[in-house]
Amino acid sequence: MKKYFFFGCITLVSALTTFAQKLAVEVNYIISDPVANKSLIYYNPPSKLTWNDFKGTPVITSDAAAITNAGLGFKMMFQSQGNIATLKILVNCNFSIEDSWVKDNRRTAYILNHEQHHFDIAYLHAIKFIQNLKGASYTMKNYSDVIENIYYQSHVDLITMQNAYDNETKNSQLANEQELWDKKIDAQLAALTK
């Protein structure tokens, strides 16, 4: 089962002197941030979650065996040189250690696989967010609205896929459906490395 965590952060570095400057945009994925909350794990494709990463307090009355709190976030900063302003957007996919939990009697490899795929889905949408940011047209007047709209759509798409995943697998209870989703998600992840 999933829980959503979305975080957007805007950091402005080096004030822009004029809206007449040309705007360049750089978008990158990051796997660490030294100033970020230490209770977050940033998605790094070779690494996988372990049950030790789930430090939240289980909700005993919940039907869920485990909850994964994962989402995407970004930071932005401006750098200005001459008449060119560069907007740098740093995107991440993160897992909240403190808000993710598992019930003690449910720590199985099968359920961990289901939860890992929730984190994988968040990563897939972080990469789509990056692709959409890279394909957008920006001006000094519209960049904020453009980024906000792309982020909002990424959020909607992520929730839609996470809900479909849980609904179609019945939160991993339908093994055949879980296997189909495992293959689907793994294929999408593999396509990113080509």
Domain ranges of the chain: 2-192
Higher pLDDT, 34 or 151: 151
Residue 47 has pLDDT above 70, yes or no: yes
Of 12-16, 35-39, 164-168, give the range with the top mean pLDDT: 164-168
Task: Give a three-class secondary structure readout of 87-122.
Answer: EEEEEEEEEECCCCEECHHHCCHHHHHHHHHHHHHH
**What is the model's pLDDT at position 161?**
98
pLDDT in tens, 3-34: 544 444 444 443 444 455 689 999 999 999 88
How far is it, in rounded angstroms, from Cα 4 to Cα 68?
8
The contacts of residue 89 (CB under 8 Å, 6+ apart) are 25, 26, 27, 28, 74, 75, 76, 133, 147
- Express as a percent the part of the chain with pLDDT over 70: 89
For the chain, the distance separating the N- and C-terminal CA atoms, rounded to the nearest angstrom, is 29
**What is the model's pLDDT at position 2?**
53
Phi, psi of 70 (to 5 degrees): -135, 150
Higher pLDDT, 2 or 118: 118
Mean pLDDT of the chain: 90
- Express as a percent the part of the chain with pLDDT over 90: 81
Average pLDDT over residues 137-163: 96
**What is the model's pLDDT at position 68?**
98
- Against a cut of 0.85, is the pTM above it? yes
pLDDT in tens, 51-95: 999 999 999 999 999 999 999 999 999 998 888 899 999 999 999
Answer yes or no: are the C-beta atoms of 49 and 116 closer than 8 Å. Answer: yes
**What is the model's pLDDT at position 168?**
98
**What is the model's pLDDT at position 13?**
41
CA-based nearest residue to 120, from 39, 187, 65, 51? 187
How far is it, in rounded angstroms, from Cα 185 to Cα 193?
13
**What is the model's pLDDT at position 84?**
87
How far is it, in rounded angstroms, from Cα 153 to Cα 144?
14
Phi, psi of 171 (to 5 degrees): 55, 45
